[in-house]
Structure 1
Amino acid sequence: MPADDSLSMDQISALFPQLENIQLVGAKGPQQIFTATLKSNFAPVMLRVVPTEEAGVFGWDPEFIVRSLTIVEQAHQGLLRVYEVGQAGPFTFIISEHSPYPRLADLETLPQISPQAALNLVRNMAEGLLTLHRKNIFHGGITPKLISLRADGGDALLLPINIYPAQPPVDMGDFASPEWVTGAEAAFTPGMDIYALGLTLYILLTRKTPMEAGFAMPSTLIKCSDAVDAVVSRAINPDTRERYRNLGDFITDLDKAIASPTGRNAAAIPARPSSPAVPAMNMQKGQTNIYYYLIPALIVGI
């Protein structure tokens, strides 16, 4: 919506009587973003509005709205709450929980957390996403900007919807799975969300992306177990045949790693045999180049 056609704050307030303390904080193309307070429970929320006539161009097409409405019905401690989706006046809108915590994108402002805390944070988000996957709803747009973290590492929340669906996948950087960037998969899949969560785990553990770390296993950079290496490497494997196929299996292996996050143990997850298309993974500690097979996929992503 052009700036000279924007509604006044009084007009916005009249369109959303369920909210108070509405303040404009920014814009992303035709989308305007406000902070507000939900009158019913005093929860801090984000209000995002797009002119309905431009909603389809922006990516808020009917399918996106139906998926968003289903998400409204879900609530999980690993997901930021989506309270309402609909139309008001000239706008299509989303009202979602607003977390006061820093985003993963601002990781440099957060202290280092333990491997066990990192594993638990990712497990919590994975369990939340699993409630959506069971309804055949896949996120497909997980980025560091959509993940909020408490400074003490005690909680992590994922906004369970890609609020900028019109953005090219390459804008997601490394978080866009290779099969999405290359177009090998035309629709979102469970593996795409698992890939993004695997990268989130790698970053929480090492405070680096795999490329920044020279594709090193986490155990060569921090004190963690072989089970941690195994769950990370399988989650971000560019070959979808070798990656986890569902969040249930991913969570099961996260639990094994959580049981012994910093040392070798009998329950360590065995490395899966690789297909001929992907070199076999060397799970021995001290090997700093075992992510070399990721290089082609990440170059495509960048």
Structure 2
Amino acid sequence: MSSIDPTAISRPRSPDLISGYHLEKLVGSGGMGEVHKATQLSLGRTVAVKLLNPELAKDPSFIARFQKEAAALAALSHPHIVSIVDKGKTDTTYYLVMEFVDGPSLRELIRAPELDVTGALRRMLEICRAIEYAHGRGVIHRDLKPENILLDQQAGGIAKVSDFGLASFLADASPSSRYALTSTHVSMGTLSYMAPEQRVDAKNADARADIFSLGVILYEWLTGEVPLGTFDPPSQRKEGLDPRLDAIVTRCLKPDPEDRYPSVRALIEDLELLVPGSMSSLPAVRPTRIHRLRQGVRKVVRKTLQAAAALVVLAALGVLAREWLRDGEARPRVQPGAAIMEDLGPMSALTGPGRSEDASERRTLALGEGPEQLNLLVSGRPVEFQENAVIFPAVDGQSRVGRVRMNVVGREGDIATLSARLRADAAPPTPMRRALAFWNGPPRATQAAVLLVGSTDLDYVALIHNGAGEPVRLEWALDERRGTMLGPDAPEGEAVLELKVDAEGVLQAFVGKGKEQRAIAEPINLGPGWMEHFGELPPVPAVGCIEGTCRIEGLTFTVRKAPPPGTTAPVPTLAVRPAAPVPAKAVAPKKAPPPPPKKQPAKAPPKGGKRR
């Protein structure tokens, strides 16, 4: 590929660059080229002219992609898809002439401070109908994102899908062989909106990849956030949202394509139930008998499920009331470290900012701050990153325990250090939490922890912050050895915790930093080869949270190898050498007093003598 001149896009264009069109002003630019507002001289109408970057116009692959977009648009004619007018070639580049959409992109609408849920769902239906139509014509968009959806103000703000430059054609469509640009096992698109299978192999991604992208757009539109990793349902992120949206979004965002909606038509049918008069954007069509029957069956099924759910809730409340009224024995509470290391359900992969430094004898991992993206495994509660900190936001329900484990290998060494700054804050009271406290008793105190975790999650060492004024806890379960020790009370606000294991296998825990650092109880002697207590693989760092809100910053894990046996001998001599000259210098002043008395009498006579 030819190198791209960074100024090539921004150079002024001649208004009469393209025969039959007059370029008026630049309205957008990007890596592929630029878009101009122009006038089609033959009809006197306003159009949009898309010019391929002249440098890219020398590259056959980009020319083919440009031609591919033209072929996709030519195959589509829909009120919610930007239509193509013309295409051609100049002496220096290629161009497309398209319908001019006078309005902002969906990105600008998402950023608006107030959310019109009904309006958002109406426009979402328009987008879905456009994609359903494209799929019916054998075209998969593969790059759906807010920037590629325009809102036509002259047509009442209706949505129009644009930018089919990464589109693919289904196998039964005629242009497939001519424009098959994507190679196997190549990822194409925008990462945050791409389906998992598209990130691995874009060529074999089918129409369900577009359904995943539609789910991301809908979630971001409703909550203002892109769903990453383990995410909360929309109704928990934004008050007042219909809980039925949770099921729709969740089904769109299933990692396995088989678990998503089988078609965009199925997604549209669910969305239509939430939007009054949802067919108003299209010409009125009288429902068929089959459609009315289907709607009636769906309504009966939903009513039945709602009644069944209400009965289940009442039964559960009855069981809780019975347990609460019993005079039975108090149930033993699980230790916090054991609770964090329990089976919290399926793990999900997540990446977080950080850095990894590998030297010959020293390896360091730092989570939360750095230019790299570290691999993490999340279990239980959702987690998010804010200002280089790992955050467990407060949640309601049964999933009150969360764990984030670094997914790393090869961190071997004889000496290890794990440190972090932790904060544990109680969750603010809400009606739901008050109800749970009434039936289940007071919730556990908020607890944040840093851990060294073995390969099976059964072996661990946990250093736990129980909140301000509560003692810091050291808990361990290694093979058959288990125990707990309490240390000094944690300070107000943030607590700095540190775990250290030396080459002899002596484990120590500390709270505080610098001169304020204090040890937690007594050291634990794990013995040489201490890493074997964690299983077949060396331990990895992890963080956990129980109840409330937990914030972990500056998580740093360092392992290094102890000096070779041959280098240990000079170490004590180096420590002794500075001490040897000290007594020598101390003895010298003691032998010095005898000479001065001899010199004193020699100086005395001049004082008693006569002056000259």
> With structure 1 as the length reference, what TM-score do the two structures score?
0.71
1:145 aligned partner: 147
Return the index of the structure with the highest Cα Rg.
2
Number of residue equivalences: 269
Letter in 2 for 1:217: P
- The question of whether the paired residues in 2 share the 8 Å contact of 1:67 and 1:137 is answered with no
Counterparts of 1:193 and 1:56, CA distance in 2: 27
User: Relative to structure 1, is the Cα distance of residues 223 and 105 closer, same or farther in structure 2, using a 3 angstrom cutoff?
Assistant: same
- 1:206 is displaced (CA, Å) by 1.5
TM-fit CA distance, 1:175: 0.6
Tell me what 2:199 maps to: 181
Q: 1:217 aligns to what?
A: 233
Tell me how far 1:47 sits from its aligned partner: 2.2
Matches within 5 A, 1:109-120: 109-120=111-122
Is residue 108 of structure 2 the alignment partner of residue 132 of structure 1?
no
The AA in structure 1 aligned to 2:104 is P
CA deviation after TM superposition for structure 1 residue 286, in Å: 6.0
Cα deviation 1:105-143 (Å, max 9, x = unaligned): 334652433322222111101111222211211111112
The question of 1:93 aligning with 2:95 is answered: yes
1:199 equivalent to 2:216? Answer yes
**Is 1:15–1:89's contact at 8 Å kept on the other side of the alignment?**
no
- Distance in 2, Cα, partners of 1:288 & 1:121: 35
Q: Which residue of structure 2 aligns with residue 295 of structure 1?
A: none
Alpha-carbon distance change, 55 to 194 in structure 1, aligned in 2, over 3 angstroms: farther
Residue type at the aligned position of 1:216: D
CA RMSD of aligned residues (A): 4.1
Rounded to whole Å, the distance in 2 between the matches of 1:21 and 1:8 is: 11
When normalised by structure 2's length, the TM-score is 0.38
3-state secondary structure, aligned to 1:9: coil
Unaligned segments of structure 1, at least 5 residues? 271-276, 280-284, 293-302
Match of 1:162 in 2: 165
Contact 2:125 2:268 (8 Å CA) reproduced: yes
Q: Bigger relative contact order, structure 1 or 2, given CA contacts below 8 A and separation 6+?
A: 1
Which residue identity lines up with residue 45 of structure 1 in the other structure? Answer: A
1:240 match: 257
Alignment of 1:7-156 (within 5 A): 9-10=13-14, 13-17=16-20, 19-24=21-26, 27-29=29-31, 31-39=33-41, 40=43, 42-51=45-54, 53-58=57-62, 60-61=63-64, 65-66=67-68, 68-107=70-109, 109-149=111-151, 154-156=157-159
Deviation at 1:99, TM superposition (A): 2.8
1:286, 1:101 → 2: CA distance? 41
Asked if 1 retains the 8 angstrom alpha-carbon contact of 2:36 and 2:50, the reply is yes
- SS of aligned partner of 1:113: coil
Moved more, 45-54 or 170-179: 45-54
Distance 1:224 1:288, change over 3 A: farther
Normalized per residue, the structure richer in helix is: 1
Cα drift, residue 234 of structure 1: 0.8
Q: Using the TM superposition, give the Cα deviation of residue 242 of structure 1 relative to its aligned residue in structure 2, in angstroms.
A: 0.4
Give the 3-state SS of the residue equivalent to 2:274 in structure 1: helix
Post-superposition Cα deviations, 1:37-73, rounded to whole Å, max 9, x if no partner, equal 3342523414222448535333x417x6256234235
Question: 1:228/1:47 Cα in 2 relative to 1: closer, same or farther (>3 Å)?
Answer: same
> In structure 1, what is the equivalent of residue 440 of structure 2?
none
CA contact (8 A) 2:68 2:165 kept: no
Post-superposition offset of 1:172: 1.1
For 1:127 and 1:252, the matched residues in 2 are separated by 11
Shift of 1:217: 0.9
